[in-house]
Amino acid sequence: MFDNIIENLPNFWSNIGNVITLVYVITVIATAIIIISQNRSPHKTMSWILVLILVPVVGIVFYLVFGQNYRKQKIFSRKGLVDFIKLEELSAEQLSDLAEKTYIHDPYIEDKTKIVRLLLRNSKAILTNINKVSILNNGDEKFRAMFKAMKKAKHHIHLEYYILESDNIGKELGNILIKKADEGVKVKIIYDDVGSWKLKKQFIRELEKHGIEFACFMPVSFPILTRKINYRNHRKITVVDGRVGFVGGINIADHYIHGNSKIPFWRDTHMMTEGQAAVALQIIFATDWYFLKKELLDDPIYFPEPLIDDKTLVQIVASGPDSDWASIMQAYFTSITLARKNVYISTPYFIPNESILTALKTAALSGIDVKILIPGISDSKFVYFATLSFVNELLEAGIEVYIYRKGFNHSKIIMVDDAFCSIGTANMDYRSFSQNFEVNALIYDPVVTSELTYWFFEDLKDSELIYLDEWTKRPVMNKFKANIARIASPLL
């Protein structure tokens, strides 16, 4: 009997192998059907199917972790505070009255009203006209201005950040918040669980002892086993007393000031706004707080009338899986297609969808001055190679591409026609366009745009202009790496 068992073992294992293979094939087919049924873009659909076929087992796990489409599932809701603020009514009223506003007919904004109307419709982003805007270059300027505003807080301080670390700058922030909380100021903090994975629990507990409240955005206990790792809160918002707001690319961590061992210099852009735009940022924070804590911040003290007379026009636009439309991507697209003279872009990750890529190439081919600044080093090698994969066709279309050589340029800015600009958290990539929670400030003002353009050209002095004939002579292996990364770019 024992001899018979030994003789049949090969058949047994062969049958087991056949069963496992059959189950796997069925799983791949079923997953492919699910992907196709989600009616995504053809590029993204084919990319996921290729991953399933070419990367056995791991491809399925990768899809389960990164491939789920929350926007279609509508699991996020902005009900509650959005109803309280009456954004539907406000945006509809502003749309109907827009033509009567005298500032809309100023030469620098008149041909950009299409962007205003778009954002009123696709994200209920109210156009605010009583604002003072200050550009903040790099971490030193951002934290100096932010800490100064916090120290003057009388009622509340609200923070919402993708990355919050308990390092030196985090501890300095914590000390200020503890002091203000002890004075009776209400402090609330939202942090993303994936982005803030280095945040120490001891830091949180110490601040909580002083009445400071925390909300963790979509906690992830086992990242490899959850779909939540894919849809993260990438926003960077600070609001003080509803009167002063901060938004841009700078998180709360030491390397946003000093860089680190791999990145010797960190270049970034943030902005401070006083006035109605700060209230618009407050609405976004309060909406996210309600989603996480089911606490409605509806006291009018959170939404004060402005005390300033400055007249800068600003639209604060948020997008994410809770949005019906990819609002920020559509704003980028529209601003590029409306360009009459120039489009200048600085982005750390350039992985555009077909719409943005076509808009940029069409603008350049029609005679618009298009300049794009990308980093020479990055905090993500794979994404960096994906970015480089687009350079060749940009150059062929007549777009000037610059590579920043001083360090890592993390700025996320766009300037169009010396009249319109955007500063925010959204990168020029698929993830920012459709998967992450983002927020941008769209500014319709020649003075602010000119200042941002000045700093853009200062960055170009620390950059290298790429020439097509030299670019095509790159090592074959570098081209291969970029092409492989390009195939996966819709998934990044």
Catalytic residue set: 234, 236, 241, 410, 412, 417
3-class secondary-structure state, position 209: coil
Burial (0-12, 13-18, 19+ Cβ within 10 Å), 488 = middle
CA distance 422 to 441: 6
Residue 278 has a CB neighbour count (10 Å cut-off) of 29
- Please report the DSSP string for 85-119 in residue order: HTHHHHHHHHHHHGGG-GGGGSHHHHTTHHHHHHH
- Work out the angle between the directed axes of helices 354-365 and 327-337 (0-180°, nearest 10): 10
**Residue 296 host element (H or E):** none
Residue 165: both structure tokens together: 């670390």
Q: 423-460 as b/e, with b when 16 or more CB fall inside 10 Å?
A: bbbbbbbbbbbbbbbbbbbbbbbbebbebbbebbeebb
Pairing of strands 244-248, 236-240: antiparallel
152: left (phi over 0), alpha (psi -120 to 50) or beta: alpha
CA distance 466 to 401: 6
Closest CA to 282 of 231, 331, 324, 316: 316
Closest CA to 50 of 453, 489, 488: 488
**Residue 469 host element (H or E):** helix 468-471
Residue 435: both structure tokens together: 């998967």
